[in-house]
Structure 1
Amino acid sequence: MSNLPESLIEERKESFIMFPKDLLHDYDYEYRELDICHLAIIKSLANNFTNTAIISINDLMTVIGISSKNKEASQKIRESVGRLQGMNYISVYADRSKAKTVTNLKPAQTYFIQPTRNNEESFVKVFETDIEKIVTMQSKHKSKLFIVYVAIVSHLFYYHDASMEHKATWPTIETLASITGLDRRTVMKYAKLLHEAEVLFCITTKVHAKKNKNFYGRYKHRELITREAIQETEMLQRCKFEDIKPVVGVE
C-alpha cells in the first residue's frame, strides 16, 4: 500500500455509493437523467449507519440548487422519487420506524427514504466527494452533469489490489452519447464543465493528424491519467509528451 501513488492511497479512504448500472443502461423511458441524479443524491444522504435519508422534496430541491417555489421542478422531482420507488430502487416512509410507506409525496413533508439493494450486483462506484462537487456546480442542468459523469466513471473498474487499477478510461463520444441519450455536442459540453469543476480530468491525445483520442478519470488522478494516456497512445503511434494537451473542449 505504501508504494502506491498518493492519490490511490487517498481514494481508498473515501466514502462512496454503489450506483446500479441497470438504471444507467435502462434507455426506454423519459427523464432517466433526473432519476439518476436524484438516486445518487439520495444514496449519498442515506450513506450512514441508519441507511436512511431524512429529507423532504423541498430539501432535495435545495440540495440540487433549485428554489422550492419552482412548482414545475417540484412536481418533476416528486414524480422522479415516485418512479424510483416504483422501480424498487428506494422505499419512502412517513415515520422513522418505517412502518408506513408513502406514495403521494407532499413538498414540505419530511420523509424517511431508504435505498434498496436492488440491482447492485453490477454497480458503478461513485465517490461522495464527486457528488458534492456536482451538486455545488453553478448549473441548472445537474441531471445532465450526473448522467455524463456516471456514464464515464462506469467504465472504471476497481480491484482488491489497487496497483492493478487503471485510472483512465477512453470511451468514444459516440459511446457516451448512446449511453446518456444526449447528442455529441451536449456530451462534450458537460464533460468540459466537469473538467473545469475538477470532478473529472479529461485530456486529448493526438493519434495522427486527423484523429484525437479522449481520456477521462477522476480529477485527483490527473497525473496517473496523463501517464496512462501517453502509454495507450504510444501503442498506436510513437508519442512525445508534447502531443498530450489538456482538454479545452472534449474533441
Structure 2
Amino acid sequence: MKNVKLVIMYDGTSYFGFAEQKNAKTVMGEIRRSLKKLLGEEVKVNGASRTDRGVHAIGQVVNFKCASRMGAGEFLNALNFYLPKDIRVLDSEEIDDSFHARFSAKNKEYCYSVFEGKEIPYFLRSFALHVKRKLDVPLMKLAAGKLTGEHDFSSFAQEIKGSPVRVIESIEIEEKPQFVGRLLELKFKGNGFLYKMVRALSGTLVDAGLKKIKPNDVAEILEARDRKRAGKTLPGHGLCLVKVNY
C-alpha cells in the first residue's frame, strides 16, 4: 500500500463545501468519485481543511492509501482527466505512511479578498467581497496586530468544539491597485482556526477599516468571548485556503 498526497485547487462556487454531505455536491465527493473511476475501488480520503460552502482553495491537501501500481506522480494527470474542470490536482507524490493531511499539519494559511471601489470587476465577483466605501488600511493593520498571538477566539467562532484557544502567527494586509479601485488581501497564518473564524476575523478588520470600531476595541472583543461583539461573518466566496504547511 502506498500513501499518496495530493495538492488540490478548486473554485468553490458550485459546491456545498469541501466535506461530503448527503444529497449535496461537495469537493470531497467529486474527488472520491473520480478516484473510484480511476482505481476501480473505494478509498478513504483525508482532507486538511473542511472549507465551507463557496470557499475556494489553491493549496488544499488530501491523502489516501491504495495498492495501485500507478506511480504516485501519475495521479496528477490521471485524476484530472476524471475531475470536473473547477477542481484540479496541482501536485501528487508518495509520502511516508504516517502522513495524514489533517493531523500532520503544523499550520494553515488563508486569504480573504476585499475589493474596494464603486464597481467590482466581473472576474472578481465570485472571489472577493465588494466594499464601496474607502477602507482605512492603517487602522486595519493596527487591529490585526491585536489579534496575533495565542488567544481565546470564542468571539470569532460560530461553533466551538473543544478548546477555543488558537495561535495566529501573522496577519498581513496587502494592497493591490486595480484599473478601477483596489484589492485588499487579508492573509492569515495560524496553527488552526475555529468554525468560520477567518471570515469573522475578516469582518472585524473590515469594520476597523470602515471606522465602525477602533483598533483598541479588539482586546475587549477577545476578552468578551461573545460572538455578538465581533464583526459579522463575511461571505464564503472571498475566502481561499492558500497553503497547508507540514
TM-score by length of 2: 0.29
Q: From the two aligned structures, give the one with the greater strand fraction.
A: 2
TM-score by length of 1: 0.29
Q: From the two aligned structures, give the one with the greater helix fraction.
A: 1
